[in-house]
Structure 1
Amino acid sequence: MRKNQKNEPKRKADTFLHTVKEPMELLPFLLQTMAKSSRNSVKSILTRGQVTVNGKMVTQHNYPLQPGHTVAILTNQAALKESVLDGIEILHEDDDIIVITKDSGILSVAAKDQHEMTAYKQLKEYVKESNPYNKVFVVHRLDKDTSGIMLFAKSEDIKKKLQENWQEVVKERLYTTLVEGNVKKDQGKISSWLTESKTFKVYSSQVDNGGQHAITHYKKIRSNKNFTLLEVELETGRKNQIRVHMEELGHPVVGDKKYGSTVSPIKRLGLHATALALVHPRTGELMRFHSAAPQNFSTKLK
């Protein structure tokens, strides 16, 4: 493998890092380090806020640089992610899949209001920016008020491979859940059959009533007399599974009025998809993605 030459920039993810060797103004420095780019494109990158000096965004053309300063240039593709995506962030992207983390309040797919920007619509627009023929396909969903990790496919073939082999492909699905009350057991398992009513509410039964069998594992992280923070792992992935099982446990997810909650201390649903581990549908590589739960999940336990 060729060794990195002294005058070559270091690269960190989607950012090129340059160390200033001698005093000069920022624009001339960028024109020098980005010699293959036109003057206008370099000025545009600077104007769009894609340049930082020692971690601080700078748009001033004549900003004075000194030896030892670190100049970071965000690539156009990375800047595009930041500019067109609202309420979602891309954790991983390759030729086959896109893994994102979404905020609470963002719909995964369908919306009654056709103008509402769902996670799917935003990714659809994003992939078309590089090629108008590119597409994105929904693999699974999160409730609107649930935040965290979602997986999308970039072809119908990959979507089918993922969905048809979901139990074999997905090795781990973890959620961080804030529930009402003090859960006494340190860990437990909930197994039941779930059926959905005509009013779209899911009900749990301890006997097989023809519904979908659902298994949820939970582990206590910490608690006080009012709330408990749980790590929840899905053995099956049914609609509203965690929400229904937490109600059955007697400790509904906070903010979940539909399934028994009477309080909303964090002004949202206390449910976050924290980790997803899967076997890549093309390469066979085991990949694990993590999205930290919102900080306010923990503040209620202090």
Structure 2
Amino acid sequence: MNGNSDYHEEEPLEFVVGADEAGQRLDKLATDCIADEAVSRTQVQDWIRSGAVKVNGQTVKPNYRTAAGDIVVIQPPEPEQTAILPEDIPLNVVYEDRDVIVIDKPRGMVVHPAPGHTSGTVVNALMHHCRDLSGINGQLRPGIVHRIDKDTSGLLMAAKNDRAHLSLAAQLKAHTVSRVYIALAHGNIPHDRGTIDAPIGRDPKNRKLFAVTDRNGKDAVTHFAVLERFGDYTLLELQLETGRTHQIRVHMKHIGHPLAGDPVYGPSRTVKLGGQALHAATLGFVHPATEEYLEFSSPIPPDMERVIAELRSR
């Protein structure tokens, strides 16, 4: 059964019903496939009735019995704006002008509101910090051009007006934005550098996760270079060519070297860190107004540096 950032491009959840799932009610199957426990079966039933969940391109009833081969597409509607409020949350601003703001996001901070995370996000902080933000991505994601995962730290850009948003989004789509990450992976990677070119989609065995898969997978390319080896761990620099949900995390697991500390794609025995050892260290783009190339860097955060120092000392 397919979506930051990892930068993530917004994608609906799409999957093909397997033979072992045939005969299930659509509302139950769809609820089981959504990776957010805050979304109830009653809510999914409302989505089905409104057409936000389609089977083979058609709107059906919540009690529709699925058949093997059915193509189900789930596009959750935007929640109401009412709960999204500005919050006086400190931001580490790396750069700011009237068009663009670049921040250094800490590990553990969600980028934009979603079910279960309606406050304390980057968007809540930006709404307090900035007078204006672009509205292209709707009321829940004002200014947000791309995302990085909650437990990934590092650089994130946001647009203050629609013109800037369109320019930055076009650069992301054209793969001309420079996005370089520093990561700590399990195992000793023998190659000094390489490219992982493998499509990413929903994991056929667990639709709440992502995996390298030819079924509904979308092109995904990650370049890597080894910075340092610690025997059981390898420090890497990774550059994104595409931006699929959890791309680096999924690609590293695929080659047998999952990220240290990753609670989803990594092993249970790992380093003590509040999430995956992944940091968005470099972000470069052409300024939407001046057309000047700007590039920013962020140092590895202290918690990740501590882990690296401990590995060096062994």
2:211 aligned residue (203, 213, 222): 203
State the one-letter code of the partner of 1:123. L
- SS of 1:99's partner is strand
Write the distance in 2 (CA, Å) between the matches of 1:234 and 1:114: 27
Aligned position for 1:85: 89
How many residue pairs get matched? 213
Aligned position for 1:192: 198
Aligned position for 1:288: 295
Write the distance in 2 (CA, Å) between the matches of 1:98 and 1:126: 10
Which consecutive aligned stretches of 4+ in structure 1 deviate over 6 angstroms post-superposition?
none
For the Cα contact (< 8 Å) 2:224–2:237, is it kept in 1?
A: yes
Cα offset, 1:195, TM superposition: 0.7
State the one-letter code of the partner of 1:283. T
Write the distance in 2 (CA, Å) between the matches of 1:184 and 1:119: 38
1:250 aligned residue (249, 256, 261): 256
* TM-score of the superposed pair, with normalisation by structure 1: 0.65
Aligned position for 1:301: 311
Aligned position for 1:172: 178
Aligned position for 1:275: 282
**Unaligned segments of structure 1, at least 5 residues:** 1-82
Aligned positions of 1:65-76 closer than 5 A: none
Write the distance in 1 (CA, Å) between the matches of 2:243 and 2:262: 19
Higher mean alpha-carbon deviation, 90-99 vs 119-128, is at: 119-128
Cα offset, 1:170, TM superposition: 3.5
Write the distance in 2 (CA, Å) between the matches of 1:250 and 1:217: 16
For the Cα contact (< 8 Å) 1:228–1:301, is it kept in 2?
A: no
1:149 aligned residue (140, 144, 155): 155
- SS of 2:259's partner is coil
More strand by percentage: 1
**What is the percentage of aligned positions where both structures have the same residue?**
33
**Unaligned segments of structure 2, at least 5 residues:** 1-86, 135-141
Write the distance in 1 (CA, Å) between the matches of 2:117 and 2:242: 31
- SS of 2:178's partner is strand
Aligned position for 1:213: 219
Change (3 A) 1:134 1:182: closer
* TM-score of the superposed pair, with normalisation by structure 2: 0.63
Aligned position for 1:24: none
State the one-letter code of the partner of 2:100. I
- SS of 2:285's partner is strand
Change (3 A) 1:260 1:114: closer
Write the distance in 1 (CA, Å) between the matches of 2:117 and 2:220: 33
Cα offset, 1:113, TM superposition: 4.1
State the one-letter code of the partner of 2:277. G
Structure scoring higher RCO (CA < 8 A, sep ≥ 6) equals 2
- Aligned-pair RMSD on alpha carbons? 2.1
- What are the Cα deviations for residues 119-173 of structure 1, in whole angstroms up to 9, with x where unaligned? 1110111114xxxx66651000011000000010001232122213324473411
Aligned position for 2:55: none
